Amino acid sequence: MGAVSGCRRAEMNSRRFISSCPSIKGIMMPEILVIDDEDHIRKLYTAFLTREGYNVDSAADGDEAMGLLAKKRYDLIVLDIELEESSGLDLLKRIKAGYPEIMIILNSAYAIYKSDFHTWLADGYVVKSSDIKPLKEKIESLLVTHEGK
């Protein structure tokens, strides 16, 4: 999926970005929420996913994320496991309990979490790296699989 003509992104503040893309021939673009306490990661993922044509919001912590989830429907969440204020795994449980239809990709710099049974609630797992391609591929794979349901 490439960039969509007419998409725009506005920085709301240093912690949250919102982008908006018009629908393409009546198709609404997927809504993605990026949850990561590292500002540079949130900005990188938000900018990249926006260029890919997704509507993207971001949150720096669990409270901010839960506030956004209460106001808007998301198709997919990219969730950092190692959040500063709370555990990403605890947040995963909270989100799945309240919003089981949302697909969640866990994102961590540590591959060790992949074998932790607490991560099994997630729909995907990607190890953070300078290469965004694995994250892009996992997002596309989940969205295509989900469309078929």
CATH number where 52 lies = 3.40.50.2300
Residues in the chain: 149
Query: 116 lies in a domain?
Result: yes
48 vs 4, residue with greater confidence:
48
Q: Is the model's pLDDT at 12 over the cut of 50?
A: no
Range of 28's domain?
Answer: 8-147
- Residue entry with tokens 């900005």: 43
C-alpha dihedral, 41 to 78 to 10 to 67, nearest 10°: -120
CB 47 within 8 A of CB 11: no
Query: 3 lies in a domain?
Result: no
Query: 132 lies in a domain?
Result: yes
Q: Where are the alpha helices (DSSP H) in the chain?
A: 39-51, 62-71, 88-98, 133-147
At residue 112, the pLDDT reads 64
Domain count, the chain: 1
Query: 94 lies in a domain?
Result: yes
Query: 48 lies in a domain?
Result: yes
Share of the chain above pLDDT 70, in %: 72
CB 48 within 8 A of CB 30: no
Query: 2 lies in a domain?
Result: no
At residue 121, the pLDDT reads 80
Query: 18 lies in a domain?
Result: yes
The rounded distance, in Å, linking the Cα atoms of 122 and 120 is 5
Query: 1 lies in a domain?
Result: no
* Reported pTM: 0.78
Amino acid at 39: D
